[in-house]
Chains A and B, each alone.
Chain A
Amino acid sequence: ETGVTQTPRHLVMGMTNKKSLKCEQHLGHNAMYWYKQSAKKPLELMFVYNFKEQTENNSVPSRFSPECPNSSHLFLHLHTLQPEDSALYLCASSQEEGEIGRPQHFGDGTRLSIL
């Protein structure tokens, strides 16, 4: 139990569907992250929220839309995705203040398959 819970664990959707990924952290952290993990590629940081404010958007296509209603919850809304968007989507959280040695805690991910 990492303290970061992601749902669903698996998702299969067509290119015209709209779905959302959910992440919840029970660690009292103030920053949350979305990463994309594709086969044979390094982890890609997609979005960062710090104190509920989006502080980073690493050139992610607009078909991915994040939402952070409070410091414990993070969503990733998906619409009109492409086959190359099939990947493992990981959520992480951390406590962002002071020294940089604080680690990020990861959920188990949502395995997304686009048909």
Chain B
Amino acid sequence: GDSVTQMEGPVTLSEEACLTINCTYTATGYPSLFWYVQYPGEGLQLLLKATKADDKGSNKGFEATYRKETTSFHLEKGSVQVSDSAVYFCALRSPGSARQLTFGSGTQLTVLP
């Protein structure tokens, strides 16, 4: 079955530091890949997505590239802000899994001023 593996947190960074959250996946067929973010007290919001190999999703300074050869979709940001503190979830949808979203376990990011 489909699965998503994220780097375990929590991750604590200083403001303006570089961020990478690793995500690798196993899926049936050619999945679409997503990063969701959950701010304290809120639900999940779509951060970015990529639907085919070598696509790069980007939003709010975050980027992730769909790497089919390494089955990875790592989230990166060059300079984090305190307001980026949240939980980040990697997820996929594949045709072979009844089109359902499969989530990673989430990575807690805390950015200190």
- What is the total of A-B residue contacts with beta carbons within 8 Å? 52
Return A79 CB to nearest CB of chain B, in Å: 24
Q: How extensive is the interface on chain A, given as a class?
A: 20 to 34
Residues of A within 8 A of B100 (CB): 45, 48, 56
- Which of B18-26, B73-81, B101-109 lies at the interface? B101-109
Contact (A2, B43) CB under 8 Å given A42-B105, A101-B32: yes
Contact with A along B21-43 (1 / 0, CB 8 A): 00000000001101010000111
Let me know if A115 is at the binding interface, CB within 8 A: no
Return B48 CB to nearest CB of chain A, in Å: 10
In the complex the two chains form, is B51's CB within 8 Å of A101's CB?
Answer: yes
Q: Which residues of A contact B (CB under 8 A)?
A: 2, 4, 6, 41-43, 45, 48, 55-56, 90, 92, 96, 99-101, 103-109
Q: Which residues of B contact A (CB under 8 A)?
A: 31-32, 34, 36, 41-46, 49, 51, 89, 93-95, 98-101, 103-106
